[in-house]
Structures are given as structure tokens and as C-alpha cells.
Amino acid sequence: MSRHLGAPHREVDHDMALAAVRDRIRLLRRLGAAGPGLLTAIVAFLLVASLVPAGTAVALAVLIERVGTTEAAGLTAVAAAPLVMFAVLLLVGHGLDAVREPLFFLARCRIDGAHRVEVARLASTSDTIGALERPEVQRLIRQARADPENWTERTPGMGALSLLAFLASLLGLVSAGAVLAAYAWWLVPLLVVPALAVQQLDRHGAVMWHRTWLRGIDGGLRAGVWQDAVTSSGEGKEVRVFGLGDWAVGRIDRHIREMFEPVWGLGGRLMTRQWAHFLLALVPLGIAFVAVALSGARGDTSVGVATAVFAAGSSVYRVFGTEVHDIVGGLACVRAFDQLREELRAAPPPRPAAPPPPDAPRATAPPLVRFEGLSFTYPGTRRRVLDGLDLEIWPGELLAVVGLNGAGKSTLIKLLAGLYEPTAGRITADGTDIVHIGAEAWRERIAIVFQDFVRYHLTAADNVALGHGSVPRDEAAIEAAARDAGFDEVLDRLPRGWQTPLARSRTGGVDLSGGQWQQVVLARALYAVRTGARLLVLDEPTAHLDVRTEFDVFARLTAHKGDASVVLISHRLSTVRQADRVVLLDRGRITESGTHDELMALDGAYAAMFAVQADRFRRGHDDRVEEGELR
């Protein structure tokens, strides 16, 4: 029975051992990012460095042996060769110490830089964004990003180089063991076994250290939020006006302590256990040195041999002096990256049954888009934001989607972009499910300006060109899009024109008002249309503009949209009356559809909303979000 009970345990141990080997192989593969030339230099460096201690011990032993057995008259000639060898080895050792850090620093930069690119690519190119909103995914990003913010964090570059150094040091262990065995074979297990035990204790402490740090990541993430708030010009306004400075700093201090106090406590406990390391080194070395010294005193061993044993014995413990924390931390970083990849690609969209050939012409006509029985519930919630919604976007039309706040308008757009997968139903383009088209191919055909659009701290030209970043930049299209959006008037006032950074934090940069930024975003959208997008979606694109300016913007949009379809979401009903069709989204479904005049004649919810807004406008209310000019 004991054999049957023990077998599963042996299988588990075997699987864990194989997994550990595979993890280390994956870590070593990261070394390829250092480049063949630099990697070859580092390997040669490590091999030479591993042989220096044993070579130094032998050279020193020969030198002492000859000095002790040669007459003074012939001492110079006899001792010259070992003396030169000893001096050369000392110089080599010092030279290796001098070049180690520059070589390793350059390799770490290359390896970690390549790893960060992989993390960024993985996070930015995943088909949907739902996973990025989950706290556990943000923790994995923090673990995998290889961008240390404090002394507890390690990177794949650190881990891979330390693991390579450890493997190279095994050659040093063999050479040191050969020197010891030349005197007595029993010295090898006497010194090597305790040295291995010391390394295992170090590894255990490093694993505990890393696990303790992982438990404090949430505190670090929260501290980062408040650190960004107190140093950002955006949040800085409220921090100062509301007197939040001391309160925010207190939060930072509390969360930093949440992250580091457990690590500090563990560090103190590990320090108290250093006596075990001390004894594991002192006792075996003491036994070996006393035995060799007694043998020398009896005349059984020469002074030179004893010196070689002393030097080789102490080098055994230096062989295992590799930074274990780097290896453990690097392995954890690589594992976190693998887990992050699984989380972000846990449910890849199905492949098209018959993918188009590579030379197939690109679609140039706007598609007929259908939402068929679409339902959606945000992860972690129960309320259906959309509930069996049916809607068509006809080719070339200007469709306006209106509804109260929280009706699901922005969610509808995110689903159209493929940023979330529907809970039920589907979205088709010309009869093909957009999932089968593929996220990348589908997004080539559409352009979306979200309500919470990004204000890139780049030049004005870059801010517009990012509207279709996957196509070659077209300067003429940038100019035309700016004219179509009315941004050319603002552009004339920028100190460096198109090359002006749109952020005061950049050298020579300026800040724009909310309305001016929306003109930038409209130019961004129209640039996408001019460079191939055939479905343009604008989510509250003119919320910062007054009604008259908004009317002019919509007129420009209608005149310059070409044959593209346009979906417009707006809270102002006075301007969407220009749309070819207006649909009202209420309680997750389309409840009314038609032209403005048809919906007014229907005298339903749309007509009631329009009447309320018209009355507010007659009484002088202006519901734009903010006013302001270029400053």
C-alpha cells in the first residue's frame, strides 16, 4: 500500500522538477535579446572568471612551494614563472571585475527592453479590453512589466544573467573540486554539500521574500494612483484647490507601508537566521583547514599544497554566491508574463471559415452593419446594459443614437469596436459576424472617437494622424481633415503650427480648451475617413461646444464624410435633427426610430426630450461642458 500511496507524490515531485527546468530554460532564452556578439562576450567572460579562483590557488601554491625550497641565489629565476602567472591571474581577476558591470548592464537593458516591448504589445493588441479592467490582470502587469520601482523587484534580464552566471560557476566548482581532490577526495563532499545547503537556504529565503512582495502589490498600485495625482498637472488643480495635499501624501504613506512593512519584517527574520549560513560555512572550512594545517605541521603536506587547499576551499562558497534573488525574481516575472498572456488571450475569437486571400482587394464601400438580438452585461455585474437590441446601420447614412444617461449608448459603441464580446447575439457586417472578420481587419474599416478621447502629449500633426495609425501617413489628408473640422483656425494661432506639442508640459507646447480639443478629435476622425475608414463613430464629439458651433461642426461633418457611414451619439437633440435617421435607446433596446420629423410626429419619448431641451435653450441655458480658448 505504501508503494501505491507514494507513487502519486513521486509523480507530483517529478512534474514540479520538470516545470522548474522548463521555467529556467524559458528564462535563459531571454538572453537572445542581448544580441549574439554581446552574449558571446559575456559567456567568455563568465567562463574565464570561473577558472580564475582555481588557477590563482594553483599559481599561489607553486609560488610558495618554490620560494620555500629554493636557495636565495637562484630564487629569482625559479620563482619568476609562477610569480608572473600569479600576477597575471590577479590582473585578469581585477579586469574582469571592472568590465562585468558594463557588460551586464548593457545586456540587462537589451533583455528587459525587449521584454517590456512584449508586455506593451500584449496589453495593447489584445482583442478586447475587459480583461484589462480586472484587478488581477493589473497585478500581473505590475509583476511582468520588468520596470523596477524599488529594491524588491527584479527583471528577466537580472534573472537570466544571474542564472547564466550560476551555470558558468559550475565550471569553477569543478576546477576547485579538482584542486581539493588532488589533496584528499573527502574534502570535496565536506565543502560542496554545505555550500549547496547554503544556496538552498538562500533560495528559500528569496522565494519567501518574493511571495511576501506579491502580497503587497495592491498597496503599491494604490500608492501609485495617489503619486500620479499629486504630480500631475490635471489632478494637481483639485489637489491644491481642495487642500488635498496632506491627505493624499498620507494615503501614499499608508499604502507604501502596506507594501513594504511585511517585506521589512521578513528581512529582519531572515537576518536573524544568518547564523545557520555562518555555521554551514565555518564548520566545514574549519575542519578542512585544521586537517590540512595538522598535516602540514607533521610534514605530510607542503606549505604550497596547504595554501592551494585553503584558496580552493574558500572559493567553493564564492561559486554559489550568485544572486539568488535575481533568479527567483526573474523567473516570477517570466511566469507572470505567461499568465498575463493567458488572461488576455483566454478566449480568442474563432478563425474565419474561409479567410480571404492575401491579395484580395480592400473593401472600399461602407458595410451594412446589423446588431442582431444583442445583449451585454459587464463582467462582475448582473444588470443587462443591452437587452436583445436590434439595429441596422445603413451604408452611407448619418445615424444619430440618442438616449438618457446610462442608456447604454457608449457600451453599444464599444461592442461595435469589438472591445467587448456580447453576452448574447451578434454584430454582422455585410452578413458576416465581425468576430469572424477578425478584430484587426474589422478595425481597419472603422474609426471611433470615444467620449473620453485621449489627449496625446504629441504634436498637433501627430494627434490628427493617429486617427488611422495603421496606414502610411498622408500629410495632404491631415491638412484637409483639419480644414473640414474647422481646426485650421486654431492651427494658425499655434506658435509652431503643426509641430506644436499639445501639452504645456512639453517644450514649446500649449494647452487647448475643451472645445479646441474636440476640433482636434474631429480632425482625427475625418483623417481616418480620408485614409480608408468607411464607418465613422462619434461619441459625444461636441460636448464642449456651444449649440451654434456644434451645428456648424455637424454641417461640416455631413459635407465631408464622403460615402462613409456615420454614427453620431449626442445628448443635444437640436443638432441631431440633421441626421438621416434618429434612434432612441432606452432600457437596452431601440424603442423609437425615424427621421427627426417622424419622431416629433410620433409624439413619444424623443419628442418629450426634445421639448424639454428646446425650452431650456429658449430660457438661455447652454449645456456645453466648458468654455475657453487657446491659452
pLDDT one-digit tens code per residue, 237-284: 777 776 778 888 888 888 888 888 888 887 778 777 777 777 777 788
238, exposed or middle or buried, with CB in 10 Å at 0-12, 13-18, 19+? Answer: exposed
Amino acid at residue number 429: A
157's grid cell: 534580464
pLDDT at residue 620 is higher than 80: no
pLDDT at residue 589 is higher than 50: yes
Q: What is the pLDDT of residue 359?
A: 44
Q: What is the pLDDT of residue 348?
A: 44
Helical segments of 486-595, H only: 488-491, 514-530, 547-560, 573-576
Distance of alpha carbon 129 from alpha carbon 418, whole angstroms: 9
582's grid cell: 434618429
Q: Assess contact for 54 and 182: CB atoms under 8 A.
A: no
Domain ranges of the chain: 2-344, 369-618
Distance of alpha carbon 238 from alpha carbon 31, whole angstroms: 46
Q: Assess contact for 447 and 525: CB atoms under 8 A.
A: yes
- pLDDT tens digit string along 118-171? 888 888 777 777 778 788 888 888 888 877 776 677 889 998 998 898 888 888
In this structure, are strands 432-433 and 446-449 parallel, antiparallel, or unpaired? unpaired
433's grid cell: 459576424
Q: At 610, is the pLDDT very low, low, confident or very high (cuts 50, 70, 90)?
A: confident
Q: At 352, is the pLDDT very low, low, confident or very high (cuts 50, 70, 90)?
A: very low
Write down the pTM of the prediction.
Answer: 0.67
Comparing 271-275, 469-473, 478-482, 537-541, the range with the smallest average pLDDT is 271-275
CATH class of 2-344: mainly alpha
Q: What is the pLDDT of residue 427?
A: 94
Task: Tell me the average pLDDT across 320-337.
Answer: 81
In this structure, are strands 432-433 and 535-539 parallel, antiparallel, or unpaired? unpaired
Residues 6 or more apart whose CB falls under 8 angstroms from that of 126 comprise 132, 344, 345
- pLDDT tens digit string along 81-133? 666 776 777 777 777 777 888 888 999 999 999 999 888 888 877 777 777 87
One fold for 2-344 and 369-618: no
Third-level CATH fold of 369-618:
Rossmann fold (3.40.50)
Q: Count how many Cα atoms sit within 13 Å of the Cα of residue 355 in the half-sphere of its side chain.
A: 9
Q: What is the pLDDT of residue 69?
A: 55
Q: What is the pLDDT of residue 306?
A: 72
Average pLDDT of the residues of the chain = 79
Q: Assess contact for 590 and 389: CB atoms under 8 A.
A: yes
Q: Assess contact for 403 and 586: CB atoms under 8 A.
A: yes
- The more confidently predicted of residues 426 and 237 is 426
- The more confidently predicted of residues 129 and 534 is 534
* Closest CA relative to residue 211, chosen from 167, 164, 270: 270
The count of other CB atoms within 10 Å of the CB of residue 354 is 7
Backbone angles phi, psi at 234, to 5 degrees: -65, -60
- The more confidently predicted of residues 377 and 295 is 377
pLDDT at residue 360 is higher than 60: no
